[in-house]
Amino acid sequence: MSIQKLSPVLATTYENFPKGRFITLIVIRTTQSETIFRTEGSGESMCNEFVQAGVTNDNIIQRLVMTKRKQVAPERRYGREHLRAHDLLFTNIKDNSICSLNTNAPCEMCVDCFLYGFAAGGGGAQKSRIWTEDAFSILPATDVVGDRTINAIYENGTMRDEKGNASTALNTSEYIKPGVHFLDVVTLKDVTTDELRYIIGNILFTSRYGAVSSRVGRMENQILGIFGSITELPSSLELVQATYDALGEPLEHPLNINRVITATKQVITNWQNRRGVSVQLSDEELTNLISDVETHWSEAERDTFLKRLSQSYEPFRQVAPDKNKGKGKGKNKNTPVEVEN
């Protein structure tokens, strides 16, 4: 089984202390519908950055940015839906509420808390072992962003409601076009085999990102490569720049996905010579690993898989309540929490 090939860089069990084992996932994220990466109704514009177009091509272009939080939050929520469904979210001892994101009361015991980390107001903290970075669009923002005037009329067919109030929904809204590719490097630190399966499942099965996600924001994620190493590999920005160079002309939206995948794979093939890389999965091994993940997440095996993963933290749960009782005392309940959105 291909997941075994990664064993030199996988932890055999969860440990409190890091041991320098890195697994890098190369992810291509492609929008399948109009997508909006900003806080709904906030009026802020889409996030973009001026960067060099390629590694060798030194033109400066403005690229769209999919921030780390826009990636991780929906993926965490996906996993947590299943933890909830299989009764694997714990009750927080401080206020007896069930573990939830964006509150001062993470349970500090569930799979999500152990993997993605938490910073609780009550004194406990767990560093996330999933390191994400901003993902960049391959093409310039000007090519991949559209403007749409939202012309919302009321049911009476006019721009005014029964009380004569004008519709406030008339405005111009920026959106990311369908078929836009973001390249992304996700680094996993000291994870176990089952943790790896859980994280990859969250990435592959999450299909909605960004604001107003029930109506827009459909996105397809594919994993193009997996590396094991003793250090972090090149950044998402370096990957997107090298791929830009490798793509050749013409570079216009929409880019053919197979062309993008070929160029990206060509770039990451050279990474096996990078300092610190000990394992690179071949295409066939990658396919096997993905089907291994799909099997573990399948209807037939999901319950066993998630419960086994949850059980693996058991030895580390027992100390938590005592420790927090002491440390939590007198802490301000309004301590800021790290917010995922």
Chain contacts with Zn ion (rule: CB under 5 A): 99, 106-107, 110, 113
Residue 5 and residue 285 in contact, taking contact as beta carbons nearer than 8 Å:
yes
Q: Which two tokens stand for residue 177?
A: 């076009």
Smallest separation (angstroms) from Zn ion to the CB of 116: 9
Residue whose CB is less far from Zn ion, 107 or 183: 107
- Tally Cβ neighbours within 10 Å of residue 182: 27
| CA 97 to chain centroid | 26
**Strand 181-189 with 135-140, pairing:** antiparallel
| CB 103, min distance to Zn ion, A | 10
For 232-303, strand residue ranges (E) read 277-280
Rounded CA gap, 185 and 233, in Å?
8
Rounded Cα distance between 80 and 202, Å, is: 9
- Pick between residue 6 and residue 109 the one whose CB is nearest to Zn ion: 109
Nearest residue (CB) to Zn ion, 100 versus 262:
100
- Min CB(70)–Zn ion separation in Å: 21
Side-chain-facing half-sphere of 153: CA atoms under 13 Å: 5
Contacts of 338 (CB under 8 A, 6+ apart): 118, 119
Q: How far is CA 99 from the centre of its chain?
A: 20
Residue closer to Zn ion by CB (options 201, 225) is: 201
Nearest-approach distance from CB 308 to Zn ion, in angstroms: 17
Cis peptide bond upstream of 315, omega within 30: no
Query: In the complex with Zn ion, which residue's Cβ is closer, 29 or 94?
Result: 94
Tell me the closest approach of the beta carbon of residue 10 to Zn ion, in angstroms: 23
Closer residue to Zn ion (CB): 26 or 107: 107
Give me the least distance between CB of 205 and Zn ion, in Å please.
20
Residue 256: C-alpha distances to residues 216, 252, 319 (Å): 22, 10, 52
